[in-house]
Chain A
Amino acid sequence: MNNPNFTTSNELTSHFFRNEYGKLVSVITGYLGNAYVETAEDIVQETLLKATEHWEMKGIPENPKAWLYTTAKNLTLNVLKRKKYQRDYESLANQKPEMDETGFFSDELIEDSQLKMMFSCCHPSISENSQIALILKILSGFSISEIANAFFSNEETINKRLVRGRLQLRKIKIDLSQKFDVDKRLEAVLKTIYLLFNEGYFPANKNQVIRFDLCLEAIRLARLLEESTVVGNKTDCSALLALMYFNASRFASRVSDVGEIIDLKEQNRSKWDSKLIQTGMWYLDKITLTKTITKYNILATISANHCIAETYKKTNWAQILSLYDQLIILEDSPITQLNRSVALAEVKGTQVAISTLETLGEESDIDNYFLYHFTLAELYKANKAFAKARFAYNQALHLAKNPRDKELLKKKLDELVLISPSQLS
């Protein structure tokens, strides 16, 4: 029997390839320089391909990580020896062969390189679209078609964003030893991570799994920052992690068996993942002593309030409303006002919330956003103003782009027809 590996059963941890991809590309880019990030991506893809060819037939080795690192190291050295790199990297190529794979890909180097890559990808000179595409491709090991899938986009568009992003990457130099620089840039990195999480958080019929993966990736990246030694002030990292864990705990309850989105009001709270909620609480506890109130801090506390509420009605709406009031002092955006109106309706009544929203619609361009009309329609319905509710649902339907949202709105309109005649009699 020459398949001894199949008698032992070594298994790969979930997403092993994807996670190792990000680590290896980051470290190798460190050796080759930012201009050669695509070469690094190719080297790692080839490493994983070699592993696939061997492991599918011979089983997974005792130490799959060491196997990958040795292969990646050798491929990298081969590239370094090639002429076009020789001028810049001659000394590196000469000194590295003595290094074994544990030195070539040391834990410290992996951590540093991943952080450096994260800060580079989130550099303000790169557009938000390209930032997220770069992060997913380079640090999270998603393929172009997987990214396109997750974003309801096509491969050509995603590839363009990557090409533009890589061009910008060439010019970026990040020095992690400058604590000031790191903390200054942290905000942009967290913003991109939060955007990534929110991309995943909107459930879709077809690619539910891959979208939850986006949320998990956002959490993994935020944890790299939170656990790192180079980030000085970690309050926002912890707050964002708490927020993402709380929101992720509701993931399974947000979509029905047939793929319809379920409102917080109607969710089966027993489906909420208590382990994720506990983890969120652990991160929130870490920052209760900090004096500075930040956006993520407030958002996390709002989400925590939902997580601990027994029912929708029993939610501590008064506290949520006061948290939104604080948030508006920090960041007065129409979206925040819109979210606040839900709490406002619960505390001060639907009429107050309706008036506030109607004013908001006149003063901002939020009335181009389907959720504005949707929220208003729900409030009209609760107030038994059915004609206004129907009009608002129709407005929302007109503005909604996603087929899933359109379906939900049509359903809401049908329900309205069922309720309103009985009100007339």
Chain B
Amino acid sequence: MREFLLLIRSEEEPKANLSPEQMQQHIEKIGGYLKKLTEEGRMKSAQPLEMKGTMLSYKNGQIVDGPYNETKEIISGYYHLLAKDLDEAIAIAKQDPRFDEGIWRMEVRPIKHVEGIN
């Protein structure tokens, strides 16, 4: 099993315009998906990220706040999971019910692992 980091990206907040009923359905759908992955022992961690925070850069010899991304896209959460290979991780990511609502992007990245060193 290899480790993967799945970064959930969206522009602004796709859930902001959902109705209360749709929000509840969203929680129940995603919850069911994560519960299944947790029970299978694949999900090591799933966390939402606050919409606030900062971007630190090294510029002209010092650390500064910013610059921020040019686009409005923001990482709103991540999954840390186990899969056989990249293909399987992608297959798992595609099953995330949030894609039913469109407007989401997900970055699937294998966590680097070098035999004998890590």
Contact = CB atoms under 8 A, between A and B. Distances in A.
Contacts of B47: 2, 57-58
Contacts of A3: 34, 38, 43, 45-46
Contacts of B31: 6, 55-56, 59-60
Interface residues of A, number: 31
A55 B27 contact: yes
Size category of the binding interface on chain B = 20 to 34
Nearest to A13: B24
Interface string B69-109: 00000001100000000000000000000000000000000
Interface in A1-25: 1-3, 6-7, 9, 12, 15-18, 20-21
Interface of A: prevailing SS: helix
A18 B24 CA distance: 9
A54 B48 contact: yes
B35 A6 contact: yes
B2 interface: no
B20 A53 contact: no
Contact of B19 (A51, A59, A143): A143
Contacts, number: 88
Interface string A44-55: 010011011111
B103 to A, nearest CB: 15
Interface in B3-58: 13, 15-24, 26-28, 30-31, 34-35, 38-39, 43-48
B23 A48 contact: yes
A142 interface: yes
A17 B18 CA distance: 12
Contacts of A7: 38
7 contacts: A2-B47, A6-B35, A6-B39, A6-B43, A49-B15, A56-B31, A58-B47
Interface of A: 1-3, 6-7, 9, 12, 15-18, 20-21, 45, 48-49, 51-60, 141-143, 145-146
